[in-house]
Amino acid sequence: MANMRFPDEIPPSVFGGGGGGGSIFDMAGTSSCEASGGGGDKWWGSLGFMDLLGIHQDFVAPSLFDSFNHPPILPPPSSAELAAVFHHHDDTLLNKLNTNNNTKQQQQLHQGSLSSPVASTVPEYSEVLNNPATPNSSSISSSSNEVTANDEQNKAGDHDDVDKTKKPLKLKKKNQKRQREPRFAFMTKSEIDHLDDGYRWRKYGQKAVKNSPYPRSYYRCTTAGCGVKKRVERSSDDPTTVVTTYEGQHTHPCPIMPRGTIGFAMDSSSFGSSSFVVPQPHFLHQHQQQLQPYIYTSSPSLNITTTSSNSNHHPLLNGFNYPNSSALALRDHGLLQDIVPTPMRREAKGEDE
DNA sequence: CGCCTTTGACCGGCGC
DNA sequence: GCGCCGGTCAAAGGCG
């Protein structure tokens, strides 16, 4: 598979608003740590999508998984122009989302976890807007009992499947209902179905989606022992929108840790629950309030710009290469302004000059 | 050769 | 019980 990359220089263009309903990350292409291995001169240039997701996740709460029990504090959504992230246990949510962008369910999602960030009642799934989340973050491991349990279960299951020859596979333990790992779903505007997030995925299945002309693809993280899965499907309502659902939690860092990530990497010990260092911009918490909705719109020409009022010019981003869509997204939205500490920005700028 | 995608078959959950 | 459907498996083939 060819790694999609952005051209080194991307002229500014129109940063269109996201479509209706749901959150939209607009990305024109994909990239990965892998892809950026050669060209990522800038710390930022090779920042993987998942890294960013991780960042955003942290943005949501010190532990996003904690938010399963404690809804994250979120900035208010900006109506339709929202970058929505769902973490849920309900498989049907996305289907419903796809088939009806304005369902009552969605409204409940919005109301439940957005307008009432500290709501005491937590729906089985909750929506996290403007905070692209990922299972990948050390900060979530502390409350990911279910994940680890499931990982083990998965591994055990895999072994069983492998050891036992062929057909009697799936001899799953009876009476043991398969537990779903927490899921994070988000919608992106993209021409590319499979957004490269820096991790290595192996496609293990594809199914036709009911009421949709677009198939759903199933991916699994290829790293040994990592049972993270990913589902990718294109919205039937809005073919330009790709719904990506992550399931599980990476037990490893990004296969190719982008150099730039160092800038974000915090000592995992400072979070007390990390088995590896991942971007942990805890300073984000201080800036939560400034969060802008992530509305990323790509155009076929990959021209992207921003409409965000406070993102007209980012010293940090001046002259940066944009080998990946996430970078674009952030640049686009001036997000770095909010999430990157000034010293870091300065440093980056200096490096850039 | 290793890794990946494709694809049909299979399995389990769930609703009727 | 049956059928539908989502999810997974694994053989086969492609690609670098």
A124 alpha-carbon distance from chain centroid:
20
Confidence of residue A177 (pLDDT cuts 50, 70, 90): low
Determine the pLDDT at residue A238: 82
The integer distance in angstroms from the CA atom of A177 to the C1' atom of B13 is 9
- A214: pLDDT strictly greater than 70: yes
Confidence of residue A13 (pLDDT cuts 50, 70, 90): very low
Tell me which residues from 51 to 70 on chain A have a beta carbon below 7 angstroms from nucleic acid strand C.
Answer: none
- A232: pLDDT strictly greater than 60: yes
Which residue lies nearest C4, CA-to-C1' measured?
A: A210
Percent of chain A scoring above 70 in pLDDT: 20
The integer distance in angstroms from the CA atom of A92 to the C1' atom of B14 is 12
- A197: pLDDT strictly greater than 60: yes
Confidence of residue A180 (pLDDT cuts 50, 70, 90): low
Tell me which residues from 157 to 216 on chain A have a beta carbon below 7 angstroms from nucleic acid strand C.
Answer: 157-158, 161-162, 166, 169-170, 204-207, 209-210, 216
- A203: pLDDT strictly greater than 80: yes
Determine the pLDDT at residue A181: 67
d(CA A87, CA A96): 14
The predicted model scores a pTM of 0.50
Nucleotide nearest to A34 (CA to C1'): B3
Please report which residue ranges of chain A form alpha helices under DSSP H.
33-36, 49-60, 92-99, 104-110, 145-163, 284-287, 325-333, 335-339, 342-352
Residues A137-169 pLDDT 10s:
333 333 333 333 333 333 333 333 333 333 444
Highest mean pLDDT: which range of A80-84, A195-199, A210-214, A332-336:
A210-214
> Among the listed ranges A81-95, A108-122, A191-205, A206-220, which one has the minimum average pLDDT value?
A108-122
Nucleotide nearest to A95 (CA to C1'): C6
Determine the pLDDT at residue A240: 84
What does pLDDT average to over chain A? 46
**φ, ψ for residue A328, nearest 5 deg:** -60, -45
Determine the pLDDT at residue A178: 57
Determine the pLDDT at residue A233: 87
The integer distance in angstroms from the CA atom of A206 to the C1' atom of B9 is 13
Nucleotide nearest to A161 (CA to C1'): C9
The integer distance in angstroms from the CA atom of A255 to the C1' atom of B3 is 15
Q: Is A50 exposed, middle or buried (0-12, 13-18, 19+ CB in 10 A)?
A: buried
Residues A295-320 pLDDT 10s:
333 333 333 333 333 333 333 223 22
d(CA A160, CA A167): 12
- A46: pLDDT strictly greater than 80: no
CB-contacted nucleotides of strand B (7 Å): 3-14
- A221: pLDDT strictly greater than 70: yes
Determine the pLDDT at residue A193: 75
Beta strands in chain A (DSSP E): 25-27, 84-88, 126-129, 183-190, 201-208, 215-221, 229-234, 241-247
Which residue lies nearest B5, CA-to-C1' measured?
A: A203
Which residue lies nearest B12, CA-to-C1' measured?
A: A170
The integer distance in angstroms from the CA atom of A112 to the C1' atom of C4 is 32
Tokens matching residue A211? 């009421």
The integer distance in angstroms from the CA atom of A317 to the C1' atom of B12 is 50
d(CA A127, CA A133): 10
Confidence of residue A192 (pLDDT cuts 50, 70, 90): confident
Determine the pLDDT at residue A147: 36
The integer distance in angstroms from the CA atom of A183 to the C1' atom of C6 is 15
The integer distance in angstroms from the CA atom of A210 to the C1' atom of C9 is 21
Amino acid identity, position A347: E
Please choose, from the candidates A131, A32, A140, the residue with its C-alpha nearest in 3D space to the C-alpha of residue A338.
A131
Highest mean pLDDT: which range of A10-14, A168-172, A216-220, A253-257:
A216-220
Q: Is A350 exposed, middle or buried (0-12, 13-18, 19+ CB in 10 A)?
A: exposed
The integer distance in angstroms from the CA atom of A299 to the C1' atom of C11 is 39
Which residue lies nearest C15, CA-to-C1' measured?
A: A1
The integer distance in angstroms from the CA atom of A215 to the C1' atom of C3 is 22
Give the N- to C-terminal CA distance of chain A in Å, as an integer: 34
Determine the pLDDT at residue A158: 36
- A228: pLDDT strictly greater than 80: yes
The integer distance in angstroms from the CA atom of A154 to the C1' atom of B11 is 16
Confidence of residue A51 (pLDDT cuts 50, 70, 90): very low
Which residue lies nearest B9, CA-to-C1' measured?
A: A167
- A78: pLDDT strictly greater than 70: no
CB-contacted nucleotides of strand C (7 Å): 5-11
Greater confidence (A109 vs A95) lies with: A95
